[in-house]
């Protein structure tokens, strides 16, 4: 009935799997949990091997890194059951009814369900840019998520029918970090599927330090420009691309792009979301100006 699919990379996913496993047992449904490590060669996989000791759960290490999109497609291909629950390895359900809340959705068709994200108020996280950005842009109220369902679609916590997933899948041309969730949600809408948002959040536990988060974000911006160049998305669909398009029309792309290193340093030094967002605009302009 339910396949829980968890891609991981250099992360101990056993705690999450164990918590989910307990809820699935209590729910008394047919289930499986599949967790694949994307070729990280991490020592943490010794802990992940414990997943294989749990009933109806399995863990496997891929020989080579195939990327965030490809590993999700592979997990779905390996899945047995009608419904697929995708979870990132660095999350944790916020409530004991997490699985039951998703089971209640099984009678709905042509709909993908997103549970949402929360960030734990921990002292060690409060000054980190990743935490501040997540609180501002990802920990979104259900009311706001419902106003713009595709914008707040995150691959870290969503439920989808396997037959629906087969018609969409993740874009494997994306090899770098980020933006696969954006393209996936836009495909869903274009194919006539509804994105429904629920109060069924997970905590996002993996809070990168400032330098790592900024580096990942730059890769995500490179993916965004790639998606535009490949005509996989339209400028009008993405606010950031609309801004950079206006700057391009004003012949300001190259000028604006020159400021991305400055905003990058300010964002890292001050853990400042405003500087971080400025860096994103400037970096996209920088990437585009190279092709002019």
Q: Note the pTM of the prediction, 2 decimals.
A: 0.91
pLDDT of residue 292: 58
Q: Specify the long-range contacts of residues 98-102, CB closer than 8 Å, at least 24 apart.
A: 98/20, 98/23, 98/200, 98/202, 99/2, 99/20, 99/23, 99/24, 99/26, 99/27, 100/23, 100/27, 101/198, 101/200, 102/2, 102/159, 102/198, 102/200
The CATH number of domain 2-204, selected from 3.90.550.10, 3.40.50.10140, 3.90.1150.10, 3.90.340.10:
3.90.550.10
- The candidate with the shortest Cα–Cα distance to 281, out of 269, 262, 173, is 262
Q: What is the pLDDT along the chain (292 residues), one digit of tens a residue?
A: 999 999 999 999 999 999 999 999 999 999 999 999 999 989 999 999 999 999 999 999 999 988 888 999 999 999 999 999 999 999 999 999 999 999 999 998 889 999 999 999 999 999 999 999 999 999 999 999 999 888 888 889 999 999 999 988 887 776 656 567 777 888 888 888 999 999 999 999 989 999 999 999 998 888 888 888 877 776 656 788 888 888 888 888 899 999 999 999 999 999 999 999 999 999 999 988 876 5
Domain parsing of the chain, residue ranges: 2-204, 210-289
Angle between helices 180-190 and 68-78 (to 10 degrees): 60
139 neighbors 117 (Cβ within 8 angstroms) = yes
Reading phi first (left if > 0) and then psi (alpha if -120 to 50, else beta), residue 203 is in: beta
């Amino acid at each position: 009935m339910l396949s829980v699919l968890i891609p991981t990379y250099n992360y101990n996913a056993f705690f999450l799997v164990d918590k989910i496993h307990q809820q699935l047992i209590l729910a008394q449904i047919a289930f499986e949990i599949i967790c694949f490590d994307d070729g990280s060669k991490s020592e943490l996989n010794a802990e992940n091997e414990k997943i294989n000791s749990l009933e109806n759960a399995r863990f496997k290490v891929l020989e080579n890194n195939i990327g965030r999109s490809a590993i999700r497609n592979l997990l779905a291909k390996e899945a047995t059951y009608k419904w697929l629950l995708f979870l990132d390895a660095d999350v944790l359900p916020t409530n004991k009814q997490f699985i039951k809340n998703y089971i209640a959705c099984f009678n709905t068709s042509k709909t993908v369900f997103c549970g949402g994200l929360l960030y734990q108020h921990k002292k060690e996280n409060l000054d980190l840019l990743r935490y501040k950005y997540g609180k501002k842009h990802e920990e979104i109220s259900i009311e706001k998520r419902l106003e713009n369902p595709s914008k707040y679609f995150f691959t870290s916590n969503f439920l989808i029918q396997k037959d629906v997933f087969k018609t969409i899948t993740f874009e494997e041309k994306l090899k770098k970090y980020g933006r696969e969730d954006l393209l996936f949600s836009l495909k869903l809408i274009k194919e006539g599927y509804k994105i429904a948002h629920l109060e069924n959040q997970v905590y996002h536990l993996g809070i990168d330090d400032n330098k790592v988060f900024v580096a990942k974000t730059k890769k995500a911006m490179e993916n965004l420009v790639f998606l535009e160049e490949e005509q996989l998305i339209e400028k009008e669909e993405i606010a950031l691309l609309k801004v950079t398009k206006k700057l391009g029309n004003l012949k300001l792309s190259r000028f604006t792009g020159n400021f991305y290193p400055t905003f990058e340093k300010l964002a890292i030094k001050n853990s400042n979301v405003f500087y971080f967002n400025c860096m994103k605009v400037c970096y996209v302009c920088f990437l585009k100006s190279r092709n002019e």
